[in-house]
């Protein structure tokens, strides 16, 4: 039985650090004695810089970025701007909060499944788009139950060439993989920040392209939707219409620090580090243990699903200090930039012990 812990569960919730929470602690302390002044300073002086930093991180203009509480809030708000008759293509095993807004609102849906429980066949996806005259492709960059990773560049280019709106859930990839919505031809990118961004709960981001905004004007509004004009508050629809009134200022300070940390490390460097850990794990996986998908890095990010039908293997590694979660008869192991090759070796040793 081990008393030390090795964290392999970023796919559920990312670790915070003392450095990233410190700005929020300082803000809380300021709220003890000068609440309104502290809030106004953050809103008027700091928030534009936070928006610029996050925009730099996703390589998109700040005017196309909204801060939201989480992915679900963003997508449900966005769906209200649609006509409700658009033909939508969805992956049937995608995250429930991506699927439900379209089911609940009775959109005409075409489903794509997985032939082997891991792969989403890109050729089949493209064929369905053409055959079913799809207008919206809504899908996760990285799948939560498998770790299967889409080639956003390839699919985004295809969608753009066929006049299909491309809406991406990046909650399982943002902070682990570089994301570039403009060059990847993504029309809407939405993400919660509590996983690979290591920014805690209560904040998310939403990028919307100018073309999408021009076609689907927001039908929701909050404090950020209004601008002062001749002494009046005038509603002016934009991506910031999707920002609720009175943002999570504490959470945005944590997000800002987390983004700056990732910018300093470089997303390509983080992604390569994670790939090295996954590669080392796959190459040394003991005989008799199986994973979802092939023993290669093809269409993989930072997640490996280790098959465990009885749950005994999960109990075993948990007893030895490894923190991971069991989903659908598999142990979801997720490596991030704080993990080391030595931890991979320890996990492999535990699996054969």
> What confidence score (pLDDT) does residue 227 get?
83
What's the domain count of the chain?
2
Whether 174 and 124 share a structural domain: yes
Whether 150 and 237 share a structural domain: yes
Per DSSP bridges, beta strands 204-208 and 65-68 are antiparallel
Whether 232 and 167 share a structural domain: yes
| Whole-angstrom distance, CA of residue 133 vs CA of residue 193 | 33
Total-model pTM? 0.96
For residue 127, the Cα-to-chain-centroid distance in whole angstroms is: 26
Q: What's the rounded mean pLDDT across residues 8-25?
A: 97
Summarised one tens digit per residue, pLDDT across range 188-236 is 999 999 999 999 999 999 999 999 999 999 999 888 888 888 888 888 8
Q: Which two tokens stand for residue 56?
A: 């730099």
| Whole-angstrom distance, CA of residue 160 vs CA of residue 182 | 11
1 band by pLDDT with thresholds 50, 70 and 90 = very low
Residue 3, pLDDT > 70, answer no
Summarised one tens digit per residue, pLDDT across range 38-71 is 999 999 999 999 999 999 999 999 999 999 999 9
| Whole-angstrom distance, CA of residue 38 vs CA of residue 160 | 44
User: In this structure, what CATH number is given to the domain that contains residue 313?
Assistant: 3.90.1150.10
User: In this structure, what CATH number is given to the domain that contains residue 256?
Assistant: 3.40.640.10
| Whole-angstrom distance, CA of residue 186 vs CA of residue 167 | 6
Q: What is the DSSP letter of 198?
A: -
160, HSE (Cβ side, Cα atoms, 13 Å)? 16
Boundary residue ending a domain (264, 279, 296): 264
Whether 157 and 298 share a structural domain: no
Boundary residue ending a domain (264, 281, 310): 264
3-state helix, strand, coil in the chain (%, to 5): 40, 20, 40
Whether 188 and 201 share a structural domain: yes
Summarised one tens digit per residue, pLDDT across range 108-124 is 999 999 999 999 999 99
Whether 331 and 240 share a structural domain: no
Whether 271 and 188 share a structural domain: no
- The mean pLDDT value of the chain amounts to 96
**Closest to 237 in 3D by CA, of 224, 246, 228, 248:** 224
Give residues with Cβ within 8 angstroms of 216, minimum separation 6: 78, 81, 82
Which helix (DSSP H) or strand (DSSP E) does residue 233 occupy? strand 232-235
In a domain, 204, yes or no: yes
Alpha helices in 218-340 (DSSP H): 249-265, 267-283, 312-319
Whether 283 and 325 share a structural domain: yes
Evaluate whether 16 touches 254 at the Cβ level (below 8 Å): yes
Boundary residue ending a domain (228, 244, 264): 264
Whether 273 and 318 share a structural domain: yes
Using DSSP's 3-state secondary structure scheme, residue 227 falls into: strand
Whether 78 and 209 share a structural domain: yes
Whether 245 and 295 share a structural domain: no
In a domain, 307, yes or no: yes
In a domain, 1, yes or no: no
In a domain, 64, yes or no: yes
Using DSSP's 3-state secondary structure scheme, residue 263 falls into: helix
Evaluate whether 7 touches 326 at the Cβ level (below 8 Å): no
Evaluate whether 322 touches 1 at the Cβ level (below 8 Å): no
Whether 145 and 285 share a structural domain: no
Strand partners, 9: 334
The DSSP code sequence of 94-154 is: S-HHHHHHHHHTT--EEEE--SSSS---HHHHHHHHHHTT-SEEEEESB-TTT-BB--HHH
- Domain housing 75: 18-264
């Amino acid at each position: 039985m081990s008393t030390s812990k090795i964290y392999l569960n970023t796919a559920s919730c990312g670790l915070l650090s003392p450095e990233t929470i410190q700005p929020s602690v300082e803000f809380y302390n300021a709220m003890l004695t000068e609440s309104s002044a502290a809030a106004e300073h953050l809103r008027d002086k700091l928030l534009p810089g936070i928006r610029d930093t996050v925009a730099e991180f996703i390589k998109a203009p700040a005017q196309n970025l909204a801060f939201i509480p989480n992915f679900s809030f963003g997508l449900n708000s966005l769906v209200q701007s649609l006509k409700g008759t658009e033909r939508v293509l969805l992956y049937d095993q995608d995250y429930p909060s991506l699927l439900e807004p379209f089911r609940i609102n009775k959109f005409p849906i075409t489903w794509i499944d997985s032939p082997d429980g891991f792969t989403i066949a890109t050729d089949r996806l493209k064929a369905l788009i053409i055959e079913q005259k799809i207008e919206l492709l809504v899908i996760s960059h990285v799948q939560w139950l498998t770790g299967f990773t889409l080639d956003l560049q390839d699919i985004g280019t295809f969608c753009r060439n066929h006049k299909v709106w491309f809406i991406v859930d990046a909650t399982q990839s943002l902070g682990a993989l570089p994301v570039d919505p403009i060059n990847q031809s993504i029309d809407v990118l939405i993400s919660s920040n509590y996983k690979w961004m290591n920014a805690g709960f209560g904040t998310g981001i939403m990028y919307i392209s100018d073309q999408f905004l021009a076609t689907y004007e927001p039908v929701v509004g909050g404090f950020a939707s209004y601008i002062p004009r001749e002494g009046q508050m005038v509603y002016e629809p934009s991506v910031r219409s999707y920002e609720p009134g009175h943002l999570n200022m504490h959470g945005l300070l944590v997000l800002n620090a987390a983004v700056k940390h990732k910018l300093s490390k470089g997303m390509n460097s983080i992604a390569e580090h994670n790939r090295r850990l996954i590669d080392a794990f796959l190459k040394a996986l003991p005989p008799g243990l199986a994973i979802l998908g092939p023993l290669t890095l093809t269409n993989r990010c930072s997640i490996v699903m280790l098959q465990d039908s009885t749950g005994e293997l999960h109990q075993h590694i948990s007893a030895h200090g490894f923190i991971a979660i069991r989903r659908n008869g598999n142990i979801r192991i997720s490596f991030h930039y704080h993990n080391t090759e030595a931890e991979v070796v320890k996990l492999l040793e535990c699996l054969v012990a």
